[in-house]
Every structure is written in C-alpha cells, then in structure tokens.
C-alpha cells in the first residue's frame, strides 16, 4: 500500500482537491458554511482521479529513466509491476473523465465535461510527449490552470474577467515550479532555477489580479477585509515562496532544489485558501487550509516530489 501511495504522490493529491474546491467556491461566492452541491464534489473527485492518473502514468512512461536516476521508486524497484500500474493509471483517467461528465450533468452545463476532456488530453500530452521538451513546464502549468477551471465551471463560471486571473496565474506559477524541478535528481543549472523562480513570482502577481484588477475600476471584490490588507497578505506569502526558491538559485544543490519545490507545492493549498478568503471569507478559507493536514501527514509517509 505504501508503494501505491508513493506512486500517486499522496501529499500532492491534497493540492489537486484544494484547486477544484477553491475554484468552485470562488465562483459560487459562498459565505455561509453549508454542504456544497454534488457538482462541487464531483469536480473534486475528477481532479483527484486525473491527478493520480497523471502521476501513475508519468512513472510508467519514465520507468527506464527512473531505473538509472531514481531506482528506489515503486516501479523501477519492482514493488509494483509496470503493467499493473499502467492499468491503474488508465482506470483512474477514465474515472476522472466520468466524474467530470457527471459534474456537468449535475451542474446543468457542458463545461465541466469539456474542461475534463482538455485536462485529460493535457495530462497525456505531458506524460507522453512534452515532459522532456521545452514545452513541458507550460503544459504542466496548463494542467493546474485547467484543474482550477474544473471547479469553476462546476459553479457555472468563470463569470467575470477578473476570475480568469486565478487559473492563468496558477498555471504560470506551476510552470515555474516545474522548471525549477527539471533537474532535481542531480545538480540543477542556476539559470534554469532562476527562470523558474521568476515564473513563479510572475504567476503569483497575475493570480492576485483577482483582487487588483477590480481595484483599477474602483471596485473591491474582497469578502471580509480591505483589498489592501488582502494584497499585503498575498505579498507576504508570495515573498516567502520566492525567497525559498531564491535560496535554490544561490545554491542549486539537489537538497535545496527539492526543498524549494516541496515548499512551492505545499504552498498551493495556502494560496488557494487565501484566494477563497477574498471571495468567501474566513470560514471557507479555513476549510481549504485544513487540507494542509492531509499534505503534511502524507509527506510523513511519502515524498511529494
């Protein structure tokens, strides 16, 4: 069981759930704590299944490389047979697509099914073709942006221009993480890590457009606190993430790069919670933030990268 949990990257699954849940909440604008409708949970289920499928199929397609660089992983070590993992990944992919289609039926809109189909194609494209090409980080980032859209479309959105800033910004942010992580098995190139860190900073600035874009028109879309206070909170959080990445730029040893990547992945949950804070207030922000418990407990069992 531990080998399977490692194969699906148990801690990182919490970030996928946080994205789709936050996407639904941001569009729905829920303020009072109440059980969300079935479309929300089906979108979360779809994102979990598709993320797990991507992780499994990633290792299936990388098994030859992992035999040399990461022989301790479940597939090259023989803990899980490769054909069994390939079957599991395919079943997870199909389950994710089915959940997205069911979310579309429950939400009475075709968009969750469409986003689920595009996300499935993006995951396959990354695992099969793009991963080791210059387009790899962009495709991985697109997967994260589509994961946000999966939750947003289940709520009938995005319904306003400023809401698009979130999936776009998070896509750029995760593209930056992927760029930083490209050579984490050995000593990374400083220029690659620096480019990834700058992309992460850019993505965080774009995602904050959810709040600062309405301010340009004299409107504030923040639920329970001043927009300037929210932007200060976001800035402090962003600075802490970029600072950890800057440490990896200064010393691109494998341990520093893995620490920066792990911190940036874990911070996705906090970032999602702060975005929900802007749209829905403190109660739902705490609900999303509670997913950090899943990440931290899972990290004690298996590594997130």
Of 198, 186, 200, 276, residue with least CA distance to 233: 276
CA nearest to 147, candidates 221, 55, 44, 288:
44
Cβ(260)–Cβ(176) below 8 Å:
no
The tokens describing 129, both together, are 């073709």
Environment class of residue 65 by beta-carbon count within 10 Å: exposed (0-12), middle (13-18) or buried (19+)?
Answer: middle
Residue 185 has pLDDT above 60, yes or no: no
Local confidence band at 69 (pLDDT 50, 70, 90 cut-offs): confident
Asked if 47 and 13 touch (Cβ cutoff 8 Å), the reply is no
pLDDT of residue 188: 57
Q: What is 178-238 written as a DSSP string?
A: HHHGGGTTSPPPHHHHHHHHHHHHHHHHHHTHHHHHHHHTT----SSS-HHHHHHHHHHHH
Contacts of 56 (CB under 8 A, 6+ apart): 7, 8, 85, 86, 88, 89, 92
* pLDDT more than 70, % of the chain: 96
State the pLDDT at residue 91. 97
pTM metric for this prediction: 0.93
C-alpha distances out from residue 55 to 13, 66, 88, 124, 165, Å: 10, 14, 11, 11, 26
Structural domains counted in the chain: 1
Average pLDDT over residues 208-231: 83
Q: Whole-number mean pLDDT of the chain?
A: 92
CATH of the domain at 40: 1.10.357.140
User: What pLDDT is stored for residue 144 in this prediction?
Assistant: 96
Q: How far apart are CA 149 and CA 53, in angstroms?
A: 18
Domain assignment of residue 283, given as a range: 2-301
Residue 53 reports pLDDT greater than 60? yes
The answer to whether residue 76 scores a pLDDT higher than 60 is yes
pLDDT digits (tens, 9 = 90+) for 239-277: 999 999 999 998 888 888 888 998 999 999 999 999 999
Q: What are 241's two structure tokens? A: 């993430």
Q: Is 48 strand, coil or helix?
A: helix
Structure confidence at residue 68 as a pLDDT band (50, 70, 90): confident
Q: What is the largest CA-CA distance in the chain?
A: 60
What is the structure's pLDDT at 236? 96
Could you give phi then psi for residue 156, rounded to 5 degrees? 90, 15
């Amino acid at each position: 069981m531990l080998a399977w949990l490692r194969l699906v990257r148990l801690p990182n699954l919490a970030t996928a759930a946080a994205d789709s849940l936050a996407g639904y909440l941001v569009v729905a604008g829920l303020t009072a704590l109440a059980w969300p409708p079935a479309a929300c949970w089906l979108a979360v289920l779809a994102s979990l299944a598709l993320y797990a499928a991507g992780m499994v199929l990633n290792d299936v397609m990388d098994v030859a490389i992992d035999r040399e660089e990461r022989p301790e992983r479940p597939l090259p070590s023989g803990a899980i047979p490769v054909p069994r993992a390939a079957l599991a990944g395919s079943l997870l992919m199909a389950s994710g697509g089915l959940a997205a289609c069911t979310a579309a039926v429950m939400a009475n809109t075709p968009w969750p099914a469409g986003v689920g189909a595009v996300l499935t194609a993006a995951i396959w494209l990354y695992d099969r073709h793009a991963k080791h090409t210059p387009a790899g980080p962009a495709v991985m980032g697109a997967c994260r942006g589509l994961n946000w859209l999966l939750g947003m479309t289940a709520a009938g959105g995005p319904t306003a221009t400023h809401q698009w800033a979130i999936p776009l910004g998070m896509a750029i942010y995760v593209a930056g993480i992927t760029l930083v992580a490209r050579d984490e098995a050995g000593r990374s190139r400083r220029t690659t890590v620096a480019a990834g860190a700058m992309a992460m900073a850019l993505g965080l600035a774009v995602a904050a457009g959810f709040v600062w874009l309405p301010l340009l028109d004299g409107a504030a879309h923040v639920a329970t606190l001043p927009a300037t206070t929210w932007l200060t909170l976001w800035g402090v959080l962003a600075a802490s993430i970029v600072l950890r990445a800057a440490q990896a730029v200064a010393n691109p040893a494998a341990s520093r790069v893995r620490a920066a990547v792990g911190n940036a992945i874990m911070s996705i949950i906090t970032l999602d919670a702060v975005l929900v804070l802007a749209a829905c207030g403190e109660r739902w922000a705490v609900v999303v933030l509670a997913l950090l418990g899943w990440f931290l407990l899972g990290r004690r069992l298996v590594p997130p990268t």
